[in-house]
Amino acid sequence: MGVLSKADRRGSVAAASVAAILVIQLVFYPMPFGNWIRGGVLGLLNAMLAIGMALIYRANRVVNFAQADLGSVPASFAAALILFWNWPYMVGLGVGLVLAVVLGVVVEMAIIRRFRDAPRLVLTVATLGISQLMVVLGILVPRWWGKNLASQRIAAPLDWKLTVGTFILNANDLIALVVAPLAMLAVAWFLGRSRLGLAVRASAERTDRASMLGLPVARINTLVWAIAAVLAFLALFMRSAITGVPLGFAVGLPTLLQGSSSGQEPHGATTMPHRAGAVQRRCGHSTRRRLPIRGSTRCGGCSSPWW
């Protein structure tokens, strides 16, 4: 028998962990099958938020505590247009998508870019401030109409229902089951097949070298934040239709725990401590030095990349 690679071992451990959780749930905490489906739907929406967090981490080397809250403001606008002004579902969704792109661009250019030379811990604290700002704006948006959006649900655009035991699933669950996987597949295709996606990956891997090769690193970071904001909006918009508009509290922190529990990043990338350990095992040195180039740290013995 051949020796399993590190990726295969990690996959086996992840599969065994999922199987163990399922067994414990089925044996000790049984519940109707409809609840399983609803849990899978909400899990897909959390996965969209986790992908956005991973993209920003790859691009800026920072944990974005505001990832979920980036979608709260455009989701509030879209929900208010649909519920208060009776706009069609698709029109409200389109307006929300445009607002999400604009919000991601504005946040990156007005706030994140100002911290590009700051320590990553400072930028992480800045994302906490962004999170609180987005929460406040999300609360204020429905007040322009003189109403409250908290816990209100967006009506499904389709007349579809499925009864699973005593549990009723509607068209909003079906939309989430279709849109969430398609959105994640679209991000995977974008990163793996498109030229802009390759530029994003190159800039995330070696910022200094990408800049020397003429790649517009700042614009690429702006694109990443716009994509993350769109993912956050879609996740919160579809969740609003299922469980109600999540306003009045920061959703980023619990989402961080749920999204980061897998410990995975797109395209098999590992977390920062694992990368540092890999450099130490590869070159055998334990010292590092910082270069004057932004975001560049090298091994003190052989100048290997040190993340």
83-107 pLDDT tens trace: 999 999 999 999 999 999 999 999 9
Domain hosting residue 279, numbered range: 271-307
In a domain, 189, yes or no: yes
> 228 and 258 in one domain?
yes
> 61 and 44 in one domain?
yes
Alpha carbon 147 to chain centroid distance?
29
Give Cβ neighbours of residue 74 (< 8 Å, ≥ 6 apart). Answer: 96, 97, 99, 100, 103, 229, 233, 237
In a domain, 104, yes or no: yes
Q: Is 19 helix (H, G, I), strand (E, B) or coil?
A: helix
> 136 and 42 in one domain?
yes
Residue 48: closest CA among 192, 245, 181: 181
> 301 and 257 in one domain?
no
> 197 and 171 in one domain?
yes
- The pLDDT of residue 186 is above 90: yes
CB 272 within 8 A of CB 60: no
> 282 and 237 in one domain?
no
> 292 and 193 in one domain?
no
**Paired sense of beta strands 288-290 and 297-299, if any:** antiparallel
In a domain, 92, yes or no: yes
In a domain, 168, yes or no: yes
The pLDDT of residue 44 is 92
> 170 and 107 in one domain?
yes
Whether pTM exceeds 0.75 = yes
Kindly state the tokens that stand for 128: 């906490």
- The pLDDT of residue 139 is above 90: no
Buried b / exposed e over 200-220, threshold 16 CB at 10 Å, is bbbbbebbbebbeeebebeeb
- The pLDDT of residue 249 is above 60: no
Q: How confident is the model at residue 141 (pLDDT cuts 50, 70, 90)?
A: confident
Q: Count how many domains the chain has.
A: 2
> 281 and 241 in one domain?
no
- The pLDDT of residue 275 is above 70: no
205-246 pLDDT tens trace: 777 787 787 888 889 999 999 999 999 999 999 998 898 876
In a domain, 17, yes or no: no
> 245 and 216 in one domain?
yes
> 178 and 139 in one domain?
yes
> 301 and 213 in one domain?
no
The pLDDT of residue 254 is 56
In a domain, 8, yes or no: no
